[in-house]
């Protein structure tokens, strides 16, 4: 299998970037997309050229590090899939595959396909935790939680923070990410004590980081690899209003 990778190359945050084309042969349909990039980098090493910088960690679709735009779509051509889960069988022999980093002012490019997503970390630091005494873990059933509530909390906790929602949004909004992190704790009894402070501080930090406003187009939900629903954004907005009254 032979393809042409057209990849965004940028030496540093302040450098001018450009697309460069690389023809790669000897690929197989069973290779993952990242394995194909590994193969390309091996070829570049043999030629004495600078390798392509890109992120990954688990390669199992659970860490969110691998996100890039592939042919104009976050994580590639399939719904609800991370880049590392994508395989070369999704492309045809002879295809040209355009690969570029997330495009958002709040995600500045570090090098090539790597962007700085520390803005997400700073939002997390503002309240995506609960204050609890340390010590022996309590018995699992000590706090009764209805299954419907537990399931809903787990659905939102599934967010892996990859940033596809921001990258694919025309406004570069982080509303889906922030809503997921707020709602999964605010649904549970353990998170109730700080619920109003949590929603105010995390949404404030989201705006401080320069993310755009949500206009509810739904693009974020379509590209989210964990299928986080945009109803979470509506719930976050309702919680924000409630925090202004009762917080």
C-beta separation of 87 from 75 below 8 A:
no
For the ranges 86-100, 135-149, 173-187, which has the lowest average pLDDT?
135-149
The CATH number of the domain holding residue 23 is: 3.10.20.30
Residues 104 and 131 placed together within one structural domain of the fold = no
Number of domains in the chain: 2
Residues 198 and 236 placed together within one structural domain of the fold = yes
Residues 61 and 131 placed together within one structural domain of the fold = no
- Sheet containing strand 96-100, strands side by side: 18-24, 3-9, 96-100, 69-70, 73-74
Enclosing domain of residue 98? 3-110
CA gap 209, 76 in Å, rounded: 27
Q: Which of 60, 87, 110 is the last residue of a domain?
A: 110
| 3-state DSSP helix/strand/coil % of the chain, to nearest 5 | 40, 15, 50
Residues 103 and 19 placed together within one structural domain of the fold = yes
CA gap 125, 201 in Å, rounded: 9
In this predicted model, what pLDDT tens digit does every residue of 184-242 receive, in sequence order? Answer: 999 999 899 999 999 999 999 999 999 999 999 999 999 999 999 999 999 999 999 99
> pTM of the prediction?
0.92
- Predicted local distance difference test score (pLDDT) of residue 133: 74
């Amino acid at each position: 299998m032979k393809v042409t990778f057209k990849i965004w190359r940028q030496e540093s945050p302040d450098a001018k970037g450009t697309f460069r084309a690389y023809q790669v042969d000897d690929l197989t349909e069973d290779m993952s997309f990242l394995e194909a990039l590994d193969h390309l980098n091996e070829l570049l090493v043999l030629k004495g050229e600078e390798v392509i910088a890109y992120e990954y960690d688990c390669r199992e679709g659970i860490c969110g590090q691998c996100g890039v735009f592939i042919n104009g779509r976050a994580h590639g051509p399939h719904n609800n899939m991370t880049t590392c889960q994508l395989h070369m069988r999704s492309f045809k022999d002879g295809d040209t595959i355009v690969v570029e980093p997330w495009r958002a002012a709040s995600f500045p490019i570090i090098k090539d396909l790597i962007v700085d997503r520390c803005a997400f970390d700073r939002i997390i630091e503002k309240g995506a935790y609960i204050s609890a005494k340390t010590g022996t873990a309590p018995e699992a059933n000590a706090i009764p939680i209805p299954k419907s509530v537990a399931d809903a909390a787990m659905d939102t906790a599934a967010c892996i923070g990859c940033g596809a929602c921001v990258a694919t949004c025309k406004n570069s909004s982080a509303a889906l990410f922030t809503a997921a992190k707020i709602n999964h704790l605010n649904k549970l009894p353990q998170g109730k004590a700080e619920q109003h402070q949590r929603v105010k501080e995390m949404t404030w930090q989201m705006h401080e980081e320069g993310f755009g406003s949500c206009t509810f187009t739904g693009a974020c939900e379509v590209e989210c690899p964990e299928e986080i629903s945009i109803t979470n954004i509506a719930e976050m907005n309702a919680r924000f209003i409630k925090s202004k009254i009762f917080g």
